[in-house]
């Protein structure tokens, strides 16, 4: 199932050198503004289309599965993850004021390393992350939500929540031992 591409809007994503990416974002109050709701929808459209190869190539979109409001210069604790769980099928996660409330002891890392829509270069190394996390926060209507995430999705939640705290993924790479191993 291919998504319509009529709403593709280029997002003005900040580059890693922008100091705004290093600030701690503000808690969000409800109800959300129309502007915030529209931004959430634009991000979902962008992330979805960026993961569909033909659309990404046609519109020159860098593939990404998550984006936090601070990456758009908006100091608000809102993250969006669009997870392709099956070819062409996506789950959308919009979490406002997210907090990790529990995590596994097991540590994993994305085999190919992590990337970021705000980092326009290759970064060598692995980012140690919890294999499983439970995230609590609120949906767009202010309802409390709880999400259990594992593996790739767990990594995405931790990566996006880091953005809310002014942390970029490469900050977590061990400089002395950049490639993670079980040993």
Catalytic residues: 160
28-60 core/surface letters (b: 16 or more CB in 10 A; e: else): beeebeeebeebbbbbbbbbbbbbbeebbeeee
Residue whose C-alpha is closest to residue 125's, from 168, 78, 82, 96: 168
């Amino acid at each position: 199932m291919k998504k319509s591409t009529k709403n593709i809007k280029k997002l003005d994503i900040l580059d890693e050198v922008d100091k705004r990416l290093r600030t701690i974002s503000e808690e969000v109050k409800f109800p959300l503004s129309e502007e915030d709701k529209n931004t959430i929808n634009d991000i979902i459209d962008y992330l979805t289309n960026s993961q569909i190869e033909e659309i990404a190539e046609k519109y020159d979109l860098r593939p990404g599965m998550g984006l936090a409001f601070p990456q758009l210069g908006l100091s608000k604790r809102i993250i969006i993850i669009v997870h392709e769980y099956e070819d062409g099928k996506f789950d959308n996660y919009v979490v406002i004021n997210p907090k990790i409330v529990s995590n596994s002891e097991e540590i994993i890392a994305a085999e190919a390393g992590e990337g970021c829509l705000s980092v326009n270069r290759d970064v060598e190394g692995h980012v140690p992350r919890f294999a499983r996390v439970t995230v609590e926060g609120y949906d767009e209507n202010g309802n409390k939500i709880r999400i259990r995430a594992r593996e790739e999705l767990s990594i995405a939640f931790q990566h996006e929540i880091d953005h809310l705290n002014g942390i970029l993924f490469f900050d977590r790479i061990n400089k002395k031992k950049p490639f993670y191993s079980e040993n």
